[in-house]
Amino acid sequence: MVFSKEDTTQINQLANSFVEYINKGDISSASASLYYLDKGSVVELPLKKRQQFEEMLANIPFSGCQLKSFHLEGAKDNKIGVAIKITPDADVANNKGIITLVLNPVQVEGKWYLTLRDEYAEGISHDNN
């Protein structure tokens, strides 16, 4: 897949908004910005999954959040690393004092959405995880 400037702009906006929500302590808006794929259709993250995500973030000692890495491959198999700083002296470049959350931006019908990346996510290739 060839990514256009519009694609990368949309992906950057989604990722930056997600990080901004977390940095402001607005975990609810961060979780509300996440989706998942179901048979090729984009679906809002169910309330129970949102609550689990919010609880997980609420229980992590938090000193900030920033984008760590981008790896774009196609419409469904991408990786955006989000560094959750868990110590005041966290060093993202050296993976010190951070937990990395991996998002998977997906494109459906020309629009980009953020999904959580896990081994069960639709469209994920298991040879490059």
CATH number at residue 15: 3.10.450.50
pLDDT tens figures, 104-124: 999 999 999 999 886 556 666
Number of domains within the chain = 1
Residue that is written with structure tokens 């994920």 in the block = 124
| Residue 124 within any structural domain of the chain | no
| Residue 55 within any structural domain of the chain | yes
Single-letter code of the amino acid located at 108:
V
Is the pLDDT score of 127 beyond 60?
Answer: no
d(CA 15, CA 68): 11
| Residue 40 within any structural domain of the chain | yes
| Residue 122 within any structural domain of the chain | no
Residue that is written with structure tokens 């961060």 in the block = 30
**128 falls in which pLDDT band (50, 70, 90)?**
very low
The C-alpha angle with vertex 72 and arms to 71 and 76, in degrees rounded to 5, equals: 125
| Residue 126 within any structural domain of the chain | no
Q: Are 80 and 103 in contact (CB under 8 A)?
A: yes
pTM, two decimal places: 0.88
| Residue 125 within any structural domain of the chain | no
SS3 of 32, please?
Answer: helix
pLDDT tens figures, 38-47: 888 899 999 9
| Residue 77 within any structural domain of the chain | yes
The pLDDT score that the predictor gives to residue 125 is 64
| Residue 121 within any structural domain of the chain | no
Note down the domain range covering 49.
Answer: 5-116
